[in-house]
Amino acid sequence: MSGLFAEPGMDIHQPETPPHVRRLPEVIVNRIAAGEVIERPAAAVKELVENAIDAGARRLEVSLAGGGVDRIIVTDDGVGMSADDLALAVDRHCTSKLRDETLVHISTLGFRGEALPSIGAAARLCITSRPRGESGAWRIRVEGGKVSPVEPAAGAPGTSVVVEDLFFATPARRKFLKSARVEGRHAENVVRRLALAVPQTAFRFMLDERVLFDLPAQDMAARSAALLDASEADGFLEISGERDGMTLSGFICPPSVHRSTANGQFMLVNGRPVVDPVLKTAVRVAYRRVIEPGRHPVVALMLTVPPDRVDVNVHPAKTELRFADEASVRSLVIGTIQRALEHGAGSVGVRPVLSSAPRQARIWYPPEKGAAPPVPAPAFHAPTPEGVRFAEGRLQFGDAPAARTLPPVAMPSPHAGWDAPAVNTPATGQAEPAYTASAQPVAADHPLGAAIAQVLDTYILAVAADGSVVLVDQHAAHERLTHERLRAQFLSGHVQAQRLLVPDVVDLPRVQVDLLLARQPTLEKLGVEIEAFGGDSVLVRALPAMLRSSDAVSLLRDLADELEADENGAPDEMAALDGRLDAVIARMACHGSIRAGRRLSVEEMNALLRQMEETPRAGTCSHGRPTWLKLSKADLEKLFGRR
């Protein structure tokens, strides 16, 4: 038993003899370093594709087998390498890209000179390259860190890299890889992000001899739409913004388009694909009020920052950055996206991408039916315009239609007032007037079109000027209108505070206390009154009147946790406080909106459509669900199998 337990005071980690410092063999050094650069097949694919892009490739092909573990082939038509360059390329910290030794003005995707040596140390690597204008190619092989001499070979202009049996030299790393399907999906995501960075380069990606995508050289709009699924491209909106010498451009989808993961978010900083927490948080904050919890928006953002205000040399993978002014970057991203989302439904104030040319719709309005309960109706004789003949003189349908059709009316003014009838608002305590609308000529440029029917007394059916069919959920739409009106009332100035009968004392870590006290003026505007209570405590004297039953202790602790996790965030962006306020407003808006099953007149329907076009975030209700759907001619043809 004496060998199982250490004697008191004995250091069980103390070696019998002190070790001597020794230099590790170069092969072991390369294998250790390879673990940082090449953590999975997708990382190897990323490094090879970046090299091809930096070499000026205009056509790039990537082929994987076994998720990239069995084989990776990357072929490009770039400038190629000579025999001398090829021999140096597989040595650590040898590169032709880094011309700025201050590591500030870096214009290439790669610059560390670690990718090829790391891959060669962990796999079987073969590089064949032929410089442009040369008659022959050269080849070099590296297996587990052992380099073979450069030899002549046959090959097309450009470079072809073959990686086989990845991690055969480091079996511990290979043991922790996922399935071939998962690793292949990671590699595909990497290539998609790199393809966005260079839309002028054609990309072809194959996995186990199946072509997953084949993209020609195209502009940024077409490339963004293709990479984020062409079926969602019609919802893409172009955005642009500028702040403090930085510019943001790109494309976003409306809140109705979202995914279960963040794989639909592509971000470039100075042309470099990144996965940056500052940018991801900014996108989440910008969409928070208009998207369902747990869902992620679809965006493709391109941020340009002065080189001296961003550090790309943070990690060997080069996907992480450090911004000199994170708060300014956040403000630029949040402000630009929110300005786009705050325009009315159907017209987000920016140019729709891949939109088709408008076609003038010709709408026939049948006479309005009575409001009596449905009864079997006589055969319907359709009116035939002069010169138009139908195969059948009448339609042999005996049942009454489920939708109320409406007679033609003048289009309401875009500025016509439209409010829920007899809704008591907290601001006045009085009932507001019923719907009002002023008649104006029909406008062909209204995105949500003109109402032609009410389906199931819940959905408004409209036809836009381009012939598209628009379906609106009247309750969800009016809920958003009411929500925005109530929110403007409560947040115009100071939110009314309700003083606590007995102030609460909240004990927090010192750093969180300092963060809360530093934002004391902003918290007071939101109805939260706090003061220092000595040491590591905060005294809460008042909370927003809307949050009557809220627990002050849990509220302050949640808010402090969020501020500590995101020091550049503002209290009015935090879910702990603003989310609670918004939830109360959403409940008030829901109860104060027109209900499903309420019959509306054609004037009320059209006034609702016009108000939606002007109201911020009208594409979704207070709970993040869509308020309207649009079916274009192409959508209808697809539904009926015409294309």
Task: State the CATH number of the domain containing residue 195.
Answer: 3.30.565.10
- Side chain identity at residue 471, one-letter code: L
The answer to whether residues 36 and 177 belong to one domain is yes
What mean pLDDT, rounded, does the chain reach? 75
Whether residues 484 and 495 share a domain: the answer is no
Q: Which of 594, 565, 560 is nearest to 577 (CA)?
A: 560
Strand positions, DSSP E, 216-286: 237-243, 246-252, 258-259, 265-269, 272-273
Lowest mean pLDDT among 59-68, 486-495, 525-534: 486-495
Q: Are residues 604 and 577 in the same domain?
A: no
The helix/strand/coil state of 282 is helix
Six token digits for residue 395: 């339609």
Q: Is residue 609 part of a domain?
A: yes
Are residues 326 and 437 part of one domain?
Answer: no
Question: Does residue 269 form part of some domain?
Answer: yes
For residues 144-150, give the mean pLDDT: 88
* Domain of residue 232, CATH code: 3.30.230.10
List, for residues 580-632, the tens digit of each pLDDT value. Answer: 666 666 666 676 677 777 888 888 888 888 888 888 778 777 777 788 888 88
Q: What is the mean pLDDT of residues 449-461?
A: 87
> Do 159 and 227 share a domain, yes or no?
no
Q: Which of these ranges, 45-49, 307-311, 342-346, 434-438, has the smallest mean pLDDT?
A: 434-438
Are 499 and 466 part of one and the same domain? no
Question: By the 8 A CB rule, do 582 and 412 touch?
Answer: no
- Cα(454)–Cα(477) distance, rounded to whole angstroms? 14
pLDDT mean over 487-510? 78
Same domain, 48 and 146: yes
Residue 359 lies in a domain: no
Regarding whether 414 and 276 lie in a shared domain, the answer is: no
- Where does the pLDDT of residue 326 fall: very low under 50, low under 70, confident under 90, or very high at 90 and above? confident
Q: Let me know if residue 21 belongs to a domain.
A: no
Residue 286 or residue 622, greater confidence: 286
Residue 576 has a pLDDT of 56
Residue 395 lies in a domain: no
Whole-model pTM over 0.75: no
CATH number for position 431? 3.30.1540.20
The 10 Å CB-count burial string (b at 16+, else e) for 574-586 is bbbbbebbbebbb
pLDDT for 579: 62
* Highest mean pLDDT out of 218-222, 417-421, 423-427, 479-483: 218-222
What digits encode the pLDDT tens for the residues 365-407?
444 444 444 443 333 333 434 443 433 333 344 444 445 555 5
Count of domains forming the chain: 4
**Would residue 561 count as lying in a domain?**
yes
* pLDDT score of 496 more than 70: yes
Q: Which of 639, 638, 616, 640 lies closest to 627, judged by CA?
A: 616
Name the most confidently modeled range: 295-304, 305-314, 351-360, 585-594: 295-304
Are residue 463 and residue 562 in the same domain, yes or no? Answer: no
| Structural domain ending residue among the three candidates 215, 245, 279 | 215
Q: Residue 207's beta-bridge partner residues?
A: 64, 210
Q: Is residue 111 part of a domain?
A: yes
State pLDDT tens for residues 240-271. 999 889 999 999 888 778 888 888 899 999 88
Specify whether the CB–CB gap between 361 and 467 falls below 8 A: yes
Q: Considering 286, 314, 341, which residue would you say is the last residue of a domain?
A: 341
* Closest CA relative to residue 552, chosen from 512, 486, 515, 498: 498
Residues 43 and 147 in one domain: yes
Residue 381 belongs to some domain of the structure: no
What was the pLDDT predicted at 379?
A: 35
E strands along 282-430, which residues? 296-297, 299-304, 310-311, 322-323, 403-405, 411-412
Q: Which of 189, 215, 241 is the last residue of a domain?
A: 215
- Pull the structure tokens for residue 293: 């919890």
197 and 231 share a domain?
A: no
CA distance 63 to 65: 7
Q: In this structure, are residues 133 and 120 in contact, taking their beta carbons and an 8 Å threshold?
A: no
DSSP state of 597: T
Helices 220-227/180-197 angle, 10° precision: 170
How much is the pLDDT for 73?
95
Q: Are residues 477 and 540 in the same domain?
A: no
Domain that residue 531 falls in: 491-591
Of the candidates 327, 303, 635, 585, the residue with the CA atom closest to the CA atom of residue 468: 635
